[in-house]
Amino acid sequence: MTRLALALVLAAAVTGCGKDATTPTSASTPTGAALTATRLFSGTLAARDTQFYSFTVAQQSGVFVTLASVTATDNRAATTTSVGIGLGVPRGTECAMSTRAVVTSALTPQVREIVAPGVHCVAIYDPGTLPAAVNYAVRIGYFQ
């Protein structure tokens, strides 16, 4: 009986060692690239016009740019008109594009690129084919 009591005391003493405020009590959730940020860039693009949208990426991340819709300004009917979209960094009064493509609207990203942390921009421009102004919506997705 006394042996058992001694063993319990010894076990309790050993078990109590090493406990401090910083000892994790459960598995911590990994932090980092867990959340996806989505920005919507929309407006009206005139013939020969360029517009851009800036956003900040906190860590190295893939950026996915989707020209989601292009519609006529008068009756809002969807069109298959091609426009240019690109990804780059803001410089002066423009977006200096490092990647660009002339595309029609789609459900999947037409431009994708891995970027470093910092401020980036997505531009939409008339590649010289717009007969008139169009409404557009561009979806920008990245990990935050």
Q: Which residue ranges make up the site for another protein (CB under 8 A)?
A: 2-3, 6-7, 9-10, 13-14, 16-18, 20, 39, 41, 43, 51-56, 89-93, 118-119, 121
Q: How far is the CB of 135 from another protein (least distance, A)?
A: 15
In the complex with another protein, the residue whose CB is nearer, 89 or 133, is 89
In the complex with another protein, the residue whose CB is nearer, 3 or 76, is 3
Q: How far is the CB of 69 from another protein (least distance, A)?
A: 18
In the complex with another protein, the residue whose CB is nearer, 9 or 78, is 9
Q: How far is the CB of 90 from another protein (least distance, A)?
A: 3
In the complex with another protein, the residue whose CB is nearer, 2 or 29, is 2
Query: Rounded distance, CA 90 to CA 125, Å?
Result: 15
C-alpha pair distances (Å), 46 with each of 2, 37, 59, 98, 113? 92, 28, 34, 23, 27
Query: Rounded distance, CA 108 to CA 88, Å?
Result: 19
C-alpha pair distances (Å), 18 with each of 9, 33, 98? 17, 32, 54
C-alpha pair distances (Å), 70 with each of 17, 44, 55, 65, 138? 66, 9, 22, 14, 9
Q: How far is the CB of 119 from another protein (least distance, A)?
A: 4
Query: Rounded distance, CA 142 to CA 66, Å?
Result: 12
